Structure 1
Amino acid sequence: MSGIPTMTESELTALGKLIYQELGIVVTPAKKTMLEARLYRRLRALGLRSYGEYLDYLRSVRGMEVEMPQLTSCVTTNTTCFLREAQHVAFLTDTVLPEFVAAHPGETFRLWSAGCSSGEEPYTLAMAMSEFAERHPRFSFTILATDISNRVLEEAQRAVYPMEDVDCLPLAWKRKYLLRSKDRSRNLVRVAPEIRRLVQFRRLNFMEPFALRELMHTIFCRNVMIYFDRATQGQLVAKLCNVLVPGGYLFIGHSESLTGHDVPLRQRAPAVYQRLAAKD
């Protein structure tokens, strides 16, 4: 930590206010040391001497446009993995998709991976649904994957991962959907193009007004609400419900809860909720 300037309480308060306004993320005093370390790299890159100067730059028109994505990457922690919460994937393929095929034969299933990070979640879901499609030839699907961070979206679109990151995937999936690096010493794999083509990546900030061209049949928004205070969580869930078809499903993280939120959802499984129809 040597050489890293100390952030004053007023700078921390001002940064926290800006981050909350723009990103909906709550900055507590406990995050001060983390912010100092991460933002110091931005100070050096921009040739600035203090966090106060950095705040002034952020508030400028150019800073808001150019630097805000960099600040976003500094204050978010993008933790994800392939086949995360395997029981959720099983619920999708064993319950959600059979229900959908029975009720909407021939219709395209639309899934949104909201807060997709570096792509492991949407690619896992693309593999799982591709397997389902092989058993149900009339089934088709689309996947929208969004995140607030341009950096992780670029990683997701490259779709290159260390070998150890895919150890949790079934062997058959790895053989079918992953490509080994030609340089075997690098221990890297890339998601096969037929899976990459199934996922459309897009930047989206939940705090900004957004609209989707079509309502979603299922939304995965896991471990996103943990960044927000209770009021912002309620606003986010309401927004998600507005773009979810009646009867559609919302998957959240196991450490998250909708208890006390007035939303048109009923719980179907741990961290899995179904959108109620108007008559319900």
Structure 2
Amino acid sequence: MSRDVQFSDADFSRIRQLIYRRAGIVLAEHKIEMVYGRLARRLRQLGLASFRDYIDRLELNPGSPEWETFTNSLTTNLTSFFRENHHFPLLGEHVASRSGRVRIWCTAASTGEEPYSIAMTLMETLGSRAEPEVLATDIDTDALFKAEQGIYPMVDVGKLSETRIKRFFLKGAGDHSGFARIRPELAARVVFQPLNLIADNWAVQGQFDAIFCRNVMIYFDKATQVRILERFVPFLKPGGLLFAGHSESFSYISDCFKLRGQTVYTVADKS
């Protein structure tokens, strides 16, 4: 592959170390072309001719806002409404039996499809009078910005039932034709905030009826996975659920959680 920006194996190795320290993400060796493709555009914008210069700038300025751009560029945001659909009826059954205000934490909100799907499920289950809260966090601030806008192509929204589209979306017209916006009453149920799961402190308060941590752990090594799972425990209300991605198995990672159903976990009783 021809490259107009200088990029060596040593540069790739340094980037792998930087993103691991910054976000806990483990980049496999075969991701080299992905890294080049995502970051080369940024280097061109900055007028830099080599990755070495860019990496040097980052390391010399640990407080630079460029770190946010660097991290956002290397974060994967593959998502869709009601992805891994079997989880949502289980969530509905779970919250229907809970008392008090229902709170759910979506730890990898990406561009918003997952937390909005959670909020839809809560409103469908609990009724319009209920005021559930979905805390939606992600390390990628660009993705969170898109999520807060709540605007999606109709080609994606159209995969939902007509009942859900009418209840939860406003179809665009004129210049906005082909897009739909999340209705205000649904958007009000979701609170977005940036959060790095490997940070020493999480700006999260209270406990949750369920935590969604789906298709996130696959980017971390085992030590990081164990640490995050242990930290989730005090954030779950008694009987709370932890939802994992289809390719993730927490039972083999930590004894903090026990399997309850298909990629759904509860806190293990160690007494």
TM-score when scaled to structure 2?
0.93
Is the Cα contact below 8 Å between 2:96 and 2:125 reproduced in 1? Answer: no
Which residue of 1 is the match for residue 197 of structure 2? Answer: 206
Query: Which string of whole-angstrom CA distances, capped at 9 and with x for unpartnered residues, describes residues 172-197 of structure 1?
Result: 11111100102277310000011011
Is the Cα contact below 8 Å between 1:115 and 1:147 reproduced in 2? Answer: yes
Is the Cα contact below 8 Å between 1:252 and 1:271 reproduced in 2? Answer: yes
Q: Does 1:265 align with 2:257?
A: yes
Aligned Cα root-mean-square deviation (Å):
1.8
Query: 2: distance between equivalents of 1:64 and 1:84?
Result: 36
Aligned pair partner of 1:188 in 170, 176, 179: 179
Query: 1: distance between equivalents of 2:110 and 2:55?
Result: 26
Which residue of 2 is the match for residue 254 of structure 1? Answer: 246
Query: Which string of whole-angstrom CA distances, capped at 9 and with x for unpartnered residues, describes residues 215-267 of structure 1?
Result: 11100111011111122111121122232223111001011111322332221
Go from structure 1 to structure 2 and tell me whether the alpha carbon gap of 1:185 and 1:69 turns closer, same or farther (over 3 Å shift).
closer
Q: Pairwise mapping of residues 1-280 of structure 1 onto structure 2 (< 5 A)? A: 2-61=2-61, 64-94=63-93, 96-100=94-98, 104=99, 107-134=100-127, 139-183=130-174, 186-211=177-202, 212-276=204-268, 279=271
Is the Cα contact below 8 Å between 1:123 and 1:195 reproduced in 2? Answer: yes
Is the Cα contact below 8 Å between 2:105 and 2:136 reproduced in 1? Answer: yes
SS across alignment from 2:102? strand
Q: Which runs of 5+ in 2 are unaligned?
A: none
Q: How many residues align?
A: 270
TM-score when scaled to structure 1?
0.91
Query: Which string of whole-angstrom CA distances, capped at 9 and with x for unpartnered residues, describes residues 83-105 of structure 1?
Result: 111110010112x11331xxx2x
In the TM superposition, structure 1's runs of 4+ consecutive aligned residues that sit over 4 Å from their partners are: none
Query: 1: distance between equivalents of 2:79 and 2:265?
Result: 21
Query: 2: distance between equivalents of 1:110 and 1:276?
Result: 21
SS across alignment from 1:11? helix
Q: Which runs of 5+ in 1 are unaligned?
A: none
